[in-house]
Amino acid sequence: MEKEQAQEKINQLSSELREHNHNYYVLSSPTISDYDFDMQLKELQGLEKQYPDFADVNSPTKRVGGDITKNFETVVHKRPMLSLGNSYSIDDIADFEIRIAKSIDHELEYVCELKYDGVAISIIYENGELAKAVTRGDGTKGEDVTANVKTIRSIPLKLKGGDYPSEFEIRGEIFFPRKNFDKLNKLREEAGEPLYMNPRNTASGTMKSKDSAVVAERGLDCFLYFVYADEKQVNTHYDSLLKAKDWGFKVPYIEKNFVCRTTTIGGIKEFIEYWDKERFNLDFDIDGIVIKVNSYHQQEELGFTAKSPRWAIAYKFKAEQVSTTLEAITYQIGRTGAITPVANLTPVLLAGTTIKRASLHNADQIEKLDIRVGDTVFVEKGGEIIPKIISVDLQKRSTDAVKTKYIECCPECQTPLVRKEEQAHHYCPNDTGCPPQIKGRIEHYISRKAMNIDGLGEETVELLVNEGLIANMADLYDLSYNQLFALEGFKEKKVRNILDGIEISKTVPFARVLFALGIRYVGETVAKKLTKHFKSIDFLMRSTMIDLISVDEIGERIADSVIEYFADEANIELVNRLRGNGLKFELTKEQLEGASERLQGLTFVITGSFENHSRNDLKKIIEDNGGKNTGSVSKKTSYVLVGEAAGSKLAKAQELGVNIIDENELIEMVG
């Protein structure tokens, strides 16, 4: 065969196989027998092997897998993959609808969809071809699993039509169809191998396989349902689903009622009630319903919180329940000193996993349930993730069951526990001498999202604490080569890795260092807000309650915790020791570049859409220059920043006489 003929045949076979694949896996209407499909695929593989120059990176032959991934590269998401707020009752959904209606003065339409119990995925397409696929990860960054995703036959490698954006992202959920999951377990049973517990966890593990051929064999599937593009071609989420379907994506089946549109809470309720019953007839698992505002413009106006969009919410179906016996109550001590009572149960299978323990939360919960050792208890998974005891079967209680008395002293260091009136938990106040607290704070400090110190793990931290080499995080920087090398099992390479990791941690930015300190209620997002506002640890340490609560989204509980932390001389000494070891406790010149105090003390509300900047860009400009963003207009609002199609917030500003500006005036204000 001549080269030109070969290239033409490869193109022809590729096009035909892509169409057959779409018909079979997306439309569920095959137009060719499995045998004929396999013969065409085999012919294409042979031609590509003979003429490798004509082989396409997104050829249908990629579906069979075979690429080996040694390490999954970390990829930062262009847009964070946020989680949804959860609700468990129709009343919660009604409250959500009321909040939305108060913020939007135009007619509202909602889209209801199934909430697939699988693995979230983000896929980038460039010029109509699959370019990269990334897992959700921590929401900010995930892992590149492109080779594995290419083997999932319902995900198009090349798109149909031609009106798609030159570059865009589409998100969805990869899941394990039950029939394929059951088939896999049957094969494992026949081979004498342990069975997988549930489809969701198995799908997640499969996507981490380094051999894409393994993924190809297992028959994963995927629904894709949310398109992100710099220039939107449609105005609603529902219309974007129809567009994505035209491009060849397997979107949730509208004709099978997987998606519906409604303008009323009654319509939402009807969709929820229907699928609460019908979900058991599906060939895949769902754990709830997602409700979204349909209009893209209204989504943008509603915006986001630090963790989730304000324009969407998830309704979770009632969790599966089982009964078992409470064998004992033990107590755990966290790094902050909080005591958590734990129920030790007779093992029982619940929602695909064996449950042996469940949290009892605090003393009030034990009192409320009147739970006693030996009781028969009902257990469910809160949000179908964390096991919890919801009630006691009093009819089965033994007559000699002893009422539970909450412990008075720390089970680790025997220090009397304390409990403030406004707090739910008891605490061990011996923060510098209680072993679990010492180890817990250091483990938090070295963790990936904090200082990310390579070479150190929980076992190493426990050994170093037990050997008396460290008692807090500052002691890590005093460790010497000789001290570590003298420990059993510590070879030169391991010691060097630990010391190098400790040294590299000195380059970690201020926000992560603040998070790593482990101040109660100061998570990643709060740490970023505090460092951006105060700019150095010295200003933060001297801050008052008024200073702190003036920071966007910082309330009294967080403020109290920060003030209490820096009121302790031991914590001040710790910070000074860390600073003396070269850690960053202020923003760098690069981070401060473009920042000012020109908007200090001013409060802004943003409404509408803008020509030259995104809403997030405008919010950043305001915050970088000392201003504060809020979501609602009041007499205390300094300025309302108005774009096109501004709604009720503009009317409210005019009613109250609040200053109204456009994006150009804001840019002039900050110079």
Residues with catalytic annotation? 115
Helix (H/G/I), strand (E/B), else coil: 513? helix
| CA–CA dist 343, 332 (Å, integer) | 11
Q: Across-strand partners of 133?
A: 123
**370: its two tokens:** 């009147």
3-state SS of 131-153 is: EEEEECCCCCEEEECHHHHCCCC
- DSSP H stretches of helix in 505-566: 510-516, 524-534, 537-541, 545-549, 556-566
CB 451 within 8 A of CB 513: yes
Q: Say how far apart CA 663 and CA 134 lie, in whole Å.
A: 34
Phi, psi of 538 (to 5 degrees): -65, -45
Q: How far apart are CA 322 and CA 130, in angstroms?
A: 44
What is the Cα–Cα distance from 523 to 188, expressed in whole angstroms?
42
Q: Phi/psi of residue 85, each to 5°?
A: -65, 140
Joined tokens for residue 565 = 């932390």
Rounded Cα–Cα distance for residues 475 and 442 (Å): 10
Left (φ > 0), alpha (ψ -120 to 50) or beta: where does 83 sit?
beta
C-alpha closest to that of 110 among 270, 251, 231, 331 = 270
Whole-Å CA distances, 588 to 528, 536, 539, 584, 593: 14, 10, 15, 8, 9
Contact (CB, 8 A) for 142 and 122 = yes
Question: 475: Cβ–Cβ under 8 A, 6 or more apart, which residues?
Answer: 469
Single out the residue of 417, 202, 390, 449 nearest to residue 331, CA to CA.
Answer: 417
Q: Which two tokens stand for residue 241?
A: 């689903």
617 CB contacts (<8 Å, ≥6 apart)?
Answer: none
What whole-number distance in Å separates Cα of residue 89 and Cα of residue 316? 8
Q: Which residues contact 351 (CB under 8 A, 6 or more apart)?
A: 198, 319, 320, 381, 384
- Structure-token pair, residue 402: 């002893």
Four-point Cα dihedral 9, 14, 20, 21, nearest 10: 160
* Long-range contacts at 1-8 (CB < 8 A, ≥ 24 apart): 3/51, 6/47, 6/50, 6/51, 6/54, 7/51, 7/54
Unique residue bearing structure tokens 């309650």: 545
Token readout for 520 is: 């109660």
